[in-house]
A and B are shown apart, each in its own frame.
Chain A
Amino acid sequence: MIVLLPFLTGLALTGIAWPRRKAEAAETLLLAALALGLGLGAASLTFFASLVAAGTITSAFFVTEVVLLLVLGRILLARNERSRDEVVTAGRGRERAPRLLVAATVVMLGLAVAAYVVLFLDKPNGGWDAWMIWNLRARFLYRGGEHWKDAFSTLLDKNHFHADYPLLLPALVARGWTCAGAESRLVPVAIAAVFTGGTIALLGSSVAVLRGKTLGLLATIAIAGTPDFLHYGGSLCSDVPLAFFVLATLVLLAREDQESEPTRGFPFLAGLSAGLAAWTKNEGLLFLALIVPVRLATHGRSGLARAVRELLWLGAGLAAPLAALAYFKLALAPTNDLIEGQSAGGFLEKVADVHRWAYIAREMTIELVKIEHWGTSFLPVLAGFIVIVGAKVEPAHRRSFALAAWVTALLALGYFLVYVASPHKLEYHVGTSHRRLIVQLVPAGLFALFLAVRAPAPSPGTLRDAKMREPGKPD
């Protein structure tokens, strides 16, 4: 039960926010994937709030989670009593995907699971950052009793331990150990598997809902076949959870774009997800700073009233994670190493150094285009795929595509600029982080790409069926 609590809370949250409809399988999977991630995010916030309030780990977090679930469940029941199911399906739920493609997707998912397991067995403690940053912090929270705030001690070297990094993952791991009653190695592994699988499910199902099952399956194949996504998923670090929340925010706003009337639920969940991105990693703060102005820009002047209303609900969703983050950053976290190591003169000197720009551009490009078993993505293959199949952004998806594409591009630009101004030795900083930064952008980038791919040509059978169908009669 205690293991399922976050998922049930996530289901209740998404259930309240989602328009009451008879969902197709893809939409149900989309709901489940969002429920998993958002539920874990909510559990992390609850655990942290209980820790701050009680001063040590107590059963308060469990009681809070149960109360939260009961309250959300009551709201969900009340809402369901008030409204009836609308017989509406978003997107192209009725399209039938080719059987061969379904089989290929199953094979790819099987291979991805096998690769994930092998990568985990290769590093059962996770990657360097997993034990040095994330699980170390979880140990301070779990083992530290009343002294859990030692996790943010200035005695911990900030160039290595990064005690200012947000706490979504450490709080979740410490919560898992508390529930298990022991420091099981399987807890971080299970959390990482949920976020990795959840991101694959979220991308595949959201593309299926918005663009049809065929493209949904191809999106699943594309992300499952990205080795570094699996590598960093299995490394037990925070990059894939961050990628999940970035993607979830974009997907929720894209779902909002499909609604003729503005909703409260989608922007609320998008705000919650964007806030959880910032609660996961410092890079999430950059995402948070970008999402609102880019969303406003994609609305244009004509949609200003809707945009303002949407932003209010987005802000409401942001409130809880932002409050936790503000407390953490203002009351607990030491200064960030990138900021502390900066001086005005040094900053200007680095920004004016053309060689730094060229070096970063070269390293990032090499990582993006190389195809090998250890590559970040098979970008050249995706580029070839687009060239072969063609691109056409449908009017219904223009705003969603613009948001996803701009946010991905601006995040990449932001990461680039952080490198340019980095107080660390550039080769070291880029070399130890550029792969993970690209992985953070892969799901959002693939989402943008699959919003832009030309819709599959209908099969002859489908055309024949459409011609034979009587006008006005539902299929």
Chain B
Amino acid sequence: MLDARTRDRIGAAALTLVGATILILLIVQTSRSLPSWDGEAVTILERRLAPLRADLAARGLSETGKVGYVSRVSQGENLPGDSSSGGRDFLAAQYALAPILLVNSPDLPLVIGDLPGPESVAPILSANRLAIETDHGSGAYLLRRAE
């Protein structure tokens, strides 16, 4: 039977060695796939929507107001009820454009078009009876209800 001092030493050594090993593994594995400082997904989306925020502010929507939101996916997919698989773009757009309230609907006088990609935006605009107010590039549009 080991005496108390030996058991203390073994216990302390085990705690330290396992803890240190876990941390070293964590550091090595995480640092292999670090994004660049400005290359993280939320930062990229924020940068893309920054001109829209300035545009809204110029229209008097800087401290309050609400705008609609359309994307290339359905309203349900913009804001999935119980899923961790989607919905990030809508949530990140709300984060980028706060304190303006983003409503997951095209039925508002002003609507944010979050439509990156090479595909045409025309079908989405016609399906939702929207027209381009301002094209800020990179798929960021300020849209309005078509007459």
C-alpha gap A158/B40 in the complex (Å): 25
Looking at B25-33, B110-118, B122-130, B137-145, the stretch in contact with chain A turns out to be B25-33
Q: Does any Cβ of B come within 8 Å of A347's Cβ? A: no
Partner among A136, A218, A374, A390 whose Cβ is within 8 Å of the Cβ of B15: A218
Complex interface bits, B62-76 against A, C-beta within 8 A gives 1, otherwise 0: 111010000000000
**Chain A 397-441 residues near chain B, CB threshold 8 A:** 424-425, 428-429, 431-432
Given A118-B27, A225-B22, A425-B82: A124 and B37 within 8 A (CB)?
yes
CB-based nearest A residue for B100: A150
B97 to chain A, nearest CB (A): 9
Contact between B34 and A159 (Cβ–Cβ < 8 Å)?
no
Number of interface residues of A (CB under 8 A): 69
Does B50 count as interface, using CB distance less than 8 angstroms?
no
CA distance in complex: A132, B41 (Å): 13
In the complex, whether B146 has a CB less than 8 A from a CB of chain A is no
CB <8 Å contact, A114 and B104 = no
**11-65 of chain A: CB within 8 A of chain B:** none
B84 near A136 (CB under 8 angstroms)?
Answer: no
Q: Let me know if A444 is at the binding interface, CB within 8 A.
A: no
Of B3, B11, B25, B40, the residue contacting A385 (CB under 8 A) is B11
A376-407: which have CB < 8 Å to B? 378, 381-382, 384-385, 388-390
Asked whether B82 lies within 8 Å of A218 as measured between CB atoms, the reply is no
How many angstroms from the CA of A230 to the CA of B26 in the assembled complex? Answer: 10
Closest chain A CB from B70 CB (angstroms): 16
Contact B83 A119 (CB under 8 A): no
**Contact code string A92-117 (vs B, CB < 8 Å = 1, else 0):** 00000000010010011001101100
Task: Please state if A123 and B40 are interface contacts (CB–CB under 8 Å).
Answer: yes
Q: Does A470 sit at the interface, judged by CB under 8 A?
A: no
Interface of chain B, main secondary structure: helix
State whether A115 touches B15 (Cβ < 8 A).
no
Taking the nearest CB of chain B, how far is it from the CB of A452, in angstroms? 14
Query: Hey, which chain B residues are within 8 Å of A301, CB to CB?
Result: none
A residues 214-261 near B (Cβ < 8 Å) are 214, 218, 221-222, 224-227, 230
List 23 contacting pairs A-B, 8 Å CB cutoff, sorted by A: A108-B19, A111-B23, A119-B30, A124-B35, A124-B40, A128-B88, A136-B98, A139-B99, A143-B63, A150-B99, A218-B11, A222-B15, A225-B16, A373-B25, A375-B22, A378-B18, A381-B18, A382-B15, A384-B14, A424-B82, A425-B83, A428-B83, A432-B84
Given contact pairs A121-B31, A140-B98, A373-B25, a sample of 20 additional A-B residue pairs in the complex whose CB atoms are under 8 Å apart: A111-B27, A118-B34, A124-B35, A125-B40, A131-B95, A136-B94, A136-B98, A139-B95, A143-B98, A143-B99, A144-B63, A146-B63, A150-B64, A218-B11, A222-B19, A224-B19, A371-B22, A385-B11, A385-B14, A457-B5
User: Which residues on B are within 8 Å of A, measured CB to CB?
Assistant: 3-5, 7-8, 10-12, 14-16, 18-20, 22-27, 29-31, 33-35, 37, 40, 42-43, 62-64, 66, 79, 81-84, 87-88, 91-92, 94-95, 98-99, 101, 103-104
